Amino acid sequence: MRAPHSGERKLTELDSVRLRKLTAAGAFPQLADILDDAQLLPSHAIPPDVVTMYARFVIRDLKLQRRQILVVCYPADADPSTGSISVLSPAGMGLIGRTVGALAQWTGPGGEETVAQIEGILFQPEATGDYVT
């Protein structure tokens, strides 16, 4: 029997279904763990302060005291030069499903640890009534 979700992260049911496909055949076990632990909600019920797929949000790197605007997206849409990061990247997995005010932590490609606070949501598809993006 599986333990109940921690509720630390919230995901839409649709995002969960789509992300589960990326974890098929045992790929991306960290993402599978995130999905297992997340509280799943219908798209219309997701709070507007949650980082969902394609939400545009502001983080502040606590070490560098630098702000960035990011979007967590699917791998095919990732373009780090524009702030679009893959949900399969360490940063994407660290941020998806978290709420404004939460701290996210991940290890970058060079082995550096990043701790960032989510400062605000600039755009969230679900908050505008877009439940299928």
Count CB atoms within 10 A of the CB of residue 63: 10
Residue 36: its H or E element: helix 29-37
The one-letter code for the residue type at 63 is: K
Residue whose tokens read 């974890």: 23
pTM score over 0.85: yes
**Per-residue model confidence (pLDDT) at position 7:** 57
User: In the chain, which stretches have pLDDT less than 70?
Assistant: 1-7, 133
Report domain 10-125's class.
alpha beta
Are the CB atoms for 78 and 84 separated by under 8 Å?
Answer: yes
**Per-residue model confidence (pLDDT) at position 5:** 44
Q: What is the rounded distance in angstroms from the CA atom of residue 121 to the CA atom of residue 103? A: 14
Q: How many CA atoms lie within 13 A of 8 on its CB side?
A: 12
Residue whose tokens read 């990061």: 85
